[in-house]
């Protein structure tokens, strides 16, 4: 089938080579029974690709179900996927079929598969390898014939190395990998999508359609779109309803959507992939490193200022420390910091450094993660949903991290 035909059928807008390549792989693998792993950032449209694989395959007349693994509590996810027997746990008043039993013969789309608990990962591996599972509270082995299409915005290879995802399950899921490019890497597709969303919204609500001036269009194309297609759709609808004039300028656009003035910064290819649920983007890490370096430098300036006064030397004014370039010479017993020509050198006894207590900042990733979670919870007054969204993780993952780090709320 032609790629353009697939786009028209499933409402896909865009012509970027990476997008066309992903569609081509989905079309070719659809006619097989292979397990597919779809990777990409949140909001890029991974569920649409699962629909392509199901609708173009031999199971198209059989059931299809999409399951968000990150939205199901850890204590009930086994029951949701595999079913349970009556009395198997508190509240289990009747036997219940799981998704793998309900869609037997069809396709199940497991979104956010990287959020699955370890025990559920082992059960899923058994389904993929032998087509077998056991209901919660039962000892009877049941059979199922279900095609699995999984998706994740987590870097599963990093999660495997961190011990958060089973290596055997990763290789079983990624028989055929499909990577969907983020919106910021799709060039002119951004404007095409904006125009599509704004036009659809205008027709649906019977309001005049908007047009972007050239400078506004450049703002839209240069923005990083961290929320990808989902965010773009929200912005297009927001501008359609709030714009005063039909021709929206860059100034009016930036007033409606202030964040859109943020330009792209250099980023690595996997800049926004989570490392096994870690949730920090490389841009955020870069900002933090710069901030920490600045703090360390300020601390050093204060230390030099304090030591020079304690040793009875001519005091070094803080503005001299801030505005001067120092040349440091190390002798046997002292450190000489050369000041500008109009002031005397500052002598600091080496013993002052040797006797001082050195306190190294913790470099533990876990400590930094705990610190950021605490800050996010304080920022949103312990509202886990808002804090999880700001951190870029699911609410269930945040709940698990709160228990793991023993954070008081």
94 and 125 housed in the same domain:
yes
Task: Establish if 168 belongs to a structural domain.
Answer: yes
CATH of the domain at 387: 1.10.10
CATH of the domain at 83: 3.40.50.300
Q: Measure the CA–CA gap between 233 and 210, rounded to whole angstroms.
A: 14
Q: Which of 152, 181, 210 is the last residue of a domain?
A: 181
**pLDDT at residue 292, as a whole number:** 66
Q: Which two tokens stand for residue 217?
A: 């269009």
What is the residue-wise DSSP string for 125-191? HHHHHHSEEE-BT---EEE---EEEEEESEEHHHHHHTTSS-HHHHHHHTTEEEEPPPGGGSTTHHH
96 and 177 housed in the same domain:
yes
Task: Establish if 409 belongs to a structural domain.
Answer: no
Residues 6+ apart with CB under 8 A from 368: 288, 362
149 and 162 housed in the same domain:
yes
| Total domain count, the chain | 4
Q: Measure the CA–CA gap between 82 and 141, rounded to whole angstroms.
A: 11
**pLDDT at residue 92, as a whole number:** 79
Give me the domain span that covers residue 324: 286-355
**pLDDT at residue 238, as a whole number:** 94
Q: Are 69 and 110 in contact (CB under 8 A)?
A: yes
What predicted TM-score, i.e. pTM, was given to this entire model?
Answer: 0.64
SS3 readout for 333-361 = CEEEEECCCCCCCEEEEHHHHHHCCCCCC
Task: Establish if 255 belongs to a structural domain.
Answer: yes
**pLDDT at residue 371, as a whole number:** 85
Each residue's pLDDT, cut to its tens digit, for the chain (409 residues) gives: 789 999 999 999 999 999 999 999 999 999 999 999 999 999 999 999 999 999 999 999 999 999 999 999 988 999 999 998 988 887 778 888 999 999 999 999 999 999 999 999 999 999 999 999 999 999 999 999 999 999 999 999 999 999 999 999 999 999 999 999 999 999 999 999 999 999 999 999 999 999 999 999 999 999 999 999 999 999 999 999 999 988 999 999 999 988 888 655 444 444 444 433 444 455 555 556 666 666 666 666 666 656 555 555 554 454 444 444 444 444 444 444 444 445 455 454 444 444 444 445 555 677 788 888 888 888 888 888 888 888 888 888 888 888 888 888 7
Task: Establish if 15 belongs to a structural domain.
Answer: yes
217 and 238 housed in the same domain:
yes
**pLDDT at residue 294, as a whole number:** 62
State the DSSP H helix or E strand holding residue 6, giving kind and residue range, or none if neither: helix 3-10
The Cα diameter of the chain in Å comes to 89
43 and 125 housed in the same domain:
yes
**pLDDT at residue 324, as a whole number:** 44
Q: Which of 337, 355, 373 is the last residue of a domain?
A: 355
Which of 226, 281, 288 has its CA nearest to residue 257?
226
Residue with tokens 């779109």: 225
Q: Measure the CA–CA gap between 321 and 298, rounded to whole angstroms.
A: 10
71 and 151 housed in the same domain:
yes
256 and 341 housed in the same domain:
no
What are the Cα distances from residue 222, in Å, to 15, 20, 404? 18, 22, 39
């Amino acid at each position: 089938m032609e790629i353009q035909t697939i786009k028209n059928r499933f409402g896909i807008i865009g012509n970027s080579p990476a997008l066309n390549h992903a569609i081509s792989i989905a079309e070719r693998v659809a006619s097989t029974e292979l397990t597919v792993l779809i990777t990409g950032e949140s909001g890029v449209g991974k569920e649409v690709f699962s629909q392509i694989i199901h609708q173009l395959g031999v199971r198209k007349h059989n059931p299809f179900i999409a399951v968000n693994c990150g939205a199901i509590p850890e204590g009930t996810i086994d029951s949701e996927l595999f079913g349970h027997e009556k009395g198997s746990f508190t509240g289990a008043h009747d036997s219940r079929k799981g998704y793998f039993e309900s869609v037997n013969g069809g396709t199940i789309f497991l979104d956010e598969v990287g959020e699955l608990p370890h025990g559920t990962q082992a059960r899923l591996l058994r389904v993929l390898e032998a087509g077998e599972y056991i209901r919660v509270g039962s000892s009877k082995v049941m059979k199922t014939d279900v095609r699995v299409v999984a998706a994740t915005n987590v870097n599963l290879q990093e999660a495997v190395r961190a011990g958060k995802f089973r290596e055997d399950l990763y290789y079983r899921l990624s028989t055929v990998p499909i990577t969907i490019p983020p919106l910021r890497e799709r060039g002119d597709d951004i404007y095409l999508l904006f125009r599509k969303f704004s036009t659809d919204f205008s027709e649906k609500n019977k309001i005049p359609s908007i047009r972007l001036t050239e400078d506004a269009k450049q703002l839209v194309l240069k923005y990083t779109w961290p929320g990808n297609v989902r965010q773009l759709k929200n912005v297009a609808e927001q501008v359609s309803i709030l714009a005063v004039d039909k021709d929206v300028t860059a100034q009016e656009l930036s007033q409606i959507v202030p964040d859109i003035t943020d330009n792209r910064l250099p980023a690595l290819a996997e800049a926004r992939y989570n490392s096994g649920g870690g949730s920090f983007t490389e841009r955020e890490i870069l900002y933090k490193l710069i901030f920490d370096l600045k703090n360390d430098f300020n601390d050093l300036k204060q230390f030099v200022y304090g030591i020079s006064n304690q040793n009875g030397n001519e005091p070094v004014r803080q503005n001299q420390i801030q505005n001067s370039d120092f040349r440091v010479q190390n002798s046997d017993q002292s450190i000489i910091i050369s000041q500008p020509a109009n002031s005397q050198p500052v002598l600091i006894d080496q013993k002052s450094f040797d006797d001082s207590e050195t306190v190294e900042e913790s470099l533990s990733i876990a400590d930094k993660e705990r610190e950021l979670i605490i800050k996010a919870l304080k920022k949103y007054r312990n509202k886990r949903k808002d804090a999880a969204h700001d951190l870029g993780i699911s609410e269930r993952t945040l709940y698990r991290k709160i228990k793991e780090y023993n954070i008081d709320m």
